[in-house]
Amino acid sequence: MTTVEKPGSAARAVEQLRSSMINGELAPGTRLSESSLTGPLGVSRNTLREAFSTLVEEGLLVRRPHRGVFVATLSSAQIADIYRVRVLLECSALEQAPTDPPRAAGMRAAVDEARRGVAAGDWRAVGTANMHFHEQIVALAGSPRLDGWMRQLTAELRLAFAAAPNIEALHRPFVAMNDEIATTYEDGQAREAAALLRDYLLTSERVVLGHLP
């Protein structure tokens, strides 16, 4: 049966695959099979290949001749570069965010999401909540373009997290840190919250790089 696709199907496939990476459902090194993905994504093989090409350009997938398409494995240099961009992007968004009143609902929801994950012992869910927290920080800037860039960064970052041998040890300390950052911003102290975030990101970078083989 021929798949009937709507306009924008490739873009939706890209977003669904990117979301699977952010949620920790696609690990680095995973081979992506066209035959197993066209049905769940509701796209043709040609459209899926178009989506793959976009994600290859973003660095989230790699194409290996005669072998297929695989989820990327990041190097230490790539991870360090991601963190440089995150410091510029997230800290600027938070420092310049409105404080009258603060627009903290998204950040607070992500903190609560992480705490539910902790209570359930679901550390992959905690990692996903952490990604949502940082996306909500950038959302304070009110820029769809920046939101799109952040989605790509969080997908790449989740691939870096996959190298950690103990995901609880990786994610647990940052739940309280996210709460502190959100609370400081809720108190109208955007600049102080941004300073906390900068220290947080530097600590996170050291932790993630320390888990690399």
pLDDT in tens, 194-208: 999 999 999 999 988
- pLDDT at position 167: 86
pLDDT in tens, 64-96: 998 999 999 988 999 999 999 999 999 999 999
* Contacts (Cβ under 8 Å, ≥6 apart) of 20: 26
Predicted confidence (pLDDT) at residue 181 exceeds the cutoff of 90? yes
Question: Exposed, middle or buried: residue 38 (CB in 10 Å: 0-12, 13-18, 19+)?
Answer: middle
Q: What is the mean pLDDT of residues 13-36?
A: 91
Q: What is the mean pLDDT of residues 8-14?
A: 89
- pLDDT at position 24: 85
Provide the β-strand partners of residue 70: 31, 62
Give percent above pLDDT 70 in the chain: 96
Round to whole Å and give the CA distance between 35 and 10.
16
pLDDT band at 212 (very low <50, low <70, confident <90, very high): confident
pLDDT band at 2 (very low <50, low <70, confident <90, very high): very low
Q: What is the mean pLDDT of residues 140-160?
A: 92
Single-letter residue type at 211: H
Structure tokens at 208: 């993630």
Q: Residues 190, 95: contact at Cβ < 8 Å?
A: yes
Predicted confidence (pLDDT) at residue 3 exceeds the cutoff of 80? no
Q: Supply the mean pLDDT for the chain.
A: 91
Where do the H-state alpha helices sit in the chain? 9-22, 34-41, 45-57, 76-95, 105-120, 123-139, 144-161, 167-186, 190-210
CB atoms within 10 A of CB 28: 18
Give percent above pLDDT 90 in the chain: 75
Predicted confidence (pLDDT) at residue 110 exceeds the cutoff of 60? yes
Round to whole Å and give the CA distance between 177 and 25.
25
Structure tokens at 182: 């959100």
Structure tokens at 203: 């600590």
* Single pTM value for the model: 0.84
- pLDDT at position 213: 65
- pLDDT at position 164: 76
- pLDDT at position 197: 98
Structure tokens at 143: 């820029």
Round to whole Å and give the CA distance between 211 and 170.
9
- pLDDT at position 170: 87
